[in-house]
Amino acid sequence: MRVLERAGVGAPRVDAEVLLGFVLGVSRGALGSLLVLDRELPDGAAAAFDALVERRARREPLQHLTGVAPFRHVELAVGPGVFVPRPETEQVAQVAIDEARRVVDERGSAVVVDLCTGSGAIALAVATEVPGARVHAVELDAAAHAWAARNLAGSGVTLVKGDARTTLRELDGAVDVVVSNPPYVPPDAVPRDPEVAEHDPAVALYGLGADGLEVPRGITAAAARLLRPGGLYVMEHAEVQDAAARAMVDATGLYAPATTADDLTGRPRMVVARRAGAPVEH
């Protein structure tokens, strides 16, 4: 644990326990029992654990070392080439899930679209937690799409490889919920954590444009095209982008006035708006 502390890892004890549990093939809860009993490690386990600790000290993401990332009630396969889902995105998923449940209760089914799905985290969470939701997920990047295909296999989610701004034309005006965690980091705001800056793919981080919102603007326009009148749009953004994100949505003239919602730590991390008026003509 001291090795991880010296390396600046944020939660060294937790990470050490997760890595030791991974080596032993047990949960953290079961690991606690083994530690209390002070049992010796099996042959080779100590060396394997030490090697993983050294890699973690070099700030390789914990999820890359174990190959999995928990997200709400599911576990996702992750690794190089795909953005590792973060706890703050779980609340973005919650907003989409709550709306999808409301629509299912009202009409018996709901259509949900996850744009820029990455690992498939939000799409899988909605499909898992909302029986009756028909979920579509879109990802353009080849590496991320491969991870999403792995995670969404057998889930019932329809995964599309394509540009989130232009795909799913067949669903125009028929979607109840559009949810997105797009790239939104401005070009001059390099993430401080090495796990993010050095290991998350740049295509999943940087939203282009001086404000980082060029890609989100395209996603916002696509959501307006897809949503039925009254349908809900929710998009994650950086905590410093709340006013800019609301202005971005409101500038389209296609939504009711946008609002900001907080993540579980109370930070403003998502813009929420309902589609107004009639479906967009094409």
Q: What angle do CA 89, 92, 98 make, to 5 degrees?
A: 140
Task: Report whether 236 belongs to an annotated binding site.
Answer: no
Query: Which string of b and e fits 81-119 if b means at least 16 CB within 10 Å?
Result: bbbbbbebbbbbbbbbbebbbebbeeeeebbbbbbbbbb
Is 139 labelled a binding residue? yes
Q: Was 206 annotated as part of a binding site?
A: no
Backbone angles phi, psi at 240, to 5 degrees: -90, 0
CA dist., res. 45 & res. 41, Å (int): 6
Q: How far is CA 192 from CA 170, 189, 197, in A?
A: 41, 9, 7
Rounded to whole angstroms, how far apart are CA atoms 153 and 206?
Answer: 28
Consult the annotation and say whether 183 binds a ligand.
yes
Q: Is 181 annotated as a binding residue?
A: yes
Contacts of 137 (CB under 8 A, 6+ apart): 113, 114, 117, 120, 122, 123, 148, 152, 157, 158, 159, 160
What are the binding residues? 139, 181-184
What are the binding residues for substrate? 181-184
What are the binding residues for S-adenosyl-L-methionine? 139, 181
